[in-house]
Structure 1
Amino acid sequence: MEAPDDLSPRSPISGAAVSDYRDLMTELAATVTRRATNLAIAERAYHDGMAAAAAELRRAEQDAKETDRRAAAAACAVVEVDREAERLWLDLQRTRVWPGQRPGAAPEPAPATAQPPLDVDDDASIAMLARVAHRIHGGPPRIALGDNRKLPALVPPLLPLVGAAATAITATMASALAALATLDPPGAGVLRLLGWLAYFASPFAGIPIATTWARRRWSARLDTGGVALIVLGGLTALSALIVTLA
């Protein structure tokens, strides 16, 4: 006896369902592949970023070390320049003397905001200091305050002649002023006073001349004996003029 149709084995899955299943599996595989690819790209980008950050950090550390080195070198250069400036100022105090003046303490450095920035390397700094030293030492020698060099042996006998010549010129000018005052011009009293002052100062007129001569020529200072010889020559010349005019 045959079985009825509804009791036969189950029929297989339809072709449309199988096709959809295959499409879903293909899409799933593509999604997994894209995920793996994107994950690999992200990991590679992460490692590249970490490497770039590490390289940037190393460069920053090297730049910081170089900046520290340059700052230390600049500080050493400032100390050297200050020491050299102090030495040059001391040389200036010893070598240069102005009439009635002498250099005081070294001036303080000007603030950095008071002058434009200069890009000066070490060679330019050395050349600048050399020019300053040449300006101090390159000129004619000047007598220092503590120096006491002696004049050459032939100079002291000439000092009375210097005093006599200076006295003669000064006394002649005094006589001219006195003679002009006798004509009663305007200011005759002043002329007469100047004449008498010139008479009294004439024996000493050779002292500044001889002092300047000795300092510029031999870098020496006149001692008491040299001044006495000049005054002696001046007094002798003044006495001779008085006797002659009398």
Structure 2
Amino acid sequence: MKFLTRRISLMLLGCVLLVLQGCATVTNPDPRDPWESMNRSVYKFNDALDTAAIQPAAKAYVAVLPSPVRTGIHNFLGNLGDVWSMANSALQFKGQATAETFMRITVNTFLGLGGVLDVASEMRLEKRKEDFGQTLGYWGVKPGPYVVLPIFGPSTLRDTLATPLDMKGDAVQQFNDQAARNVLSVTRVMDVRSGLLQTVDVIKAAALDPYTFVRDAYLQKRENDVHDGNPPARFDYTESETP
């Protein structure tokens, strides 16, 4: 775990250095994305890596494993993810969400064959995804500039700083056997990417600028996540003469 955290820290330091290089080359940036030049470069790197390796692996994952098996894997990984979501719900003093997520974990672990079956959703126990970036946002920490991280993809400065703790709190990283941790980590990437195969293709085909589309969608989603789907209203001064 210490080795993994150290590698993530070095990666984030590298991102900061890239940021310092990218700031001087940006002209008239979006206020939320002052490091657009650097971000676009990292976005292109991630897209090339995805096209060359991750997307083909995800397609093979879908081709080899039947849908019921993939669903069971998705449920199992989701049950592990609920542990960190519960912890962050507690850090945000969301009593009901914490209790319901605890019940989800208990029900799916003991009645759902370790989480392979999502019995809790059938019992209408809502699934909530919470991370430490959301917790910081809940307590008033602003998102800061938009950042595209190598491999990890879209983020913000706040969420980037929260990433090492999110990884440390990940239930997958608590497995003592390193081989098991590696297999679960790779399987999670395949699970997430396989679920986005059609979505990514549509974005690339339909969006005039996929980078801008992804950025705007991500920032809107994160704001909704922090405010549980009810972000504060923002007054548009261009629509009225009265500020």
**Normalised by the size of structure 2, how large is the TM-score?**
0.18
Structure ranking higher on relative contact order (CA contacts 8 Å, 6+ apart):
2
Highest Rg: 1 or 2? 1
